[in-house]
Amino acid sequence: MILTVTLNTALDITYRVRELRPHGSHRVSEVTERPGGKGLNVARVLAALGHEVTVTGFTGGTTGHVLRTRLADTPGVRDALVPVSGTTRRTIAIVDQLSGDTTQLNEPGPTVTAAEWSAFRTTYESLLPGVSAVALCGSLPPGLPVGAYAGLVRTARTAGVPVLLDTSGEPLRRGVAARPDIVKPNTDELAELTGSHDPSRGARDTRRRGARTVVVSLGAKGLLAATPDGSWQATPPARLPGNPTGAGDSAVAGLLSGLVEGLPWPDRLARAVALSAATVRAPAAGEFDRATYEELLERVTVTGDVSAA
């Protein structure tokens, strides 16, 4: 069983329009709604790969009810979300079909009380026994301490559960110091953390700060990994047009599934890159085009230097 944590869950709403024009009126050609937030996207991809997944985090209000109802229809995903008095946020993605670009609008999320945070920590600790890996994903909702993820990392490590952290800003900085097994920043998040715009240098610096392994998202150029066993870069064969929302979450699912299956790092990275690229071709985050994934998996290029860790 894999556990994913989404402290700031969302109902993801995707609108497709022919062309997005500022100040204009638009006719929407297609609308999709999905349970969202990074950890829920990760969970759906893991379930599609055949893994059993439990999801936890916060949910509340009318939007939270819709999210949980839709989540119940997802095979392989168990709901262990913790209720809050506030209302779960919505995220709006507007896909411009002419250009292929996506505009994202993200609500802040409900304010979480101290009692609700305590109830979540109790639930989290109760879920860790028997879990093969845990992913801590996304932003912190209002009301939570900036060191929330750092505490959850330490709890997982105490339980002997490998933990992947995917967040940004000060929560990432505090979380890295708690020594997670894997962190997955993008280049901007890494530069903010380390002050370096060189991904290789930034990844090495992040390992010195406490992370055991650093996997950097390079966008359309793939992934760069600095691990205890060496450094690798995995590159997709081509840039695919489509909606990039959720591509990084699919990469996390690839890394987690490779971890629990005991795959070597080059294979984990190839899977993560292929899944990420295949998500760009899917209609919504947390999904991937399986035919594209299987075709790309054979064509991802992985180069490495085992002496560069």
Distance CA 122, CA 28 (A): 43
DSSP string for residues in 61-113: HHHHHHHHHHHTTSTTEEE--EE-SS--EEEEEEEETTT--EEEEE---PPPP
**82-83 and 53-59 strand pairing:** parallel
Report H helices in 261-289. 265-280
Q: Are 199 and 190 in contact (CB under 8 A)?
A: yes
Length of the chain, in residues: 309
Who's near 261: CB < 8 A, 6+ residues apart?
none
Contact 234, 258 (CB under 8 A): no
Give the Cα separation of 36 and 49 in Å (integer).
18
Q: How far apart are CA 247 and CA 31, in angstroms?
A: 19
CB 179 within 8 A of CB 153: yes
Q: 3-class DSSP state for residue 24?
A: coil
Is residue 205 flagged as an active site residue? no
Active-site annotation holder among 166, 249, 289, 305: 249
Catalytic residues: 249
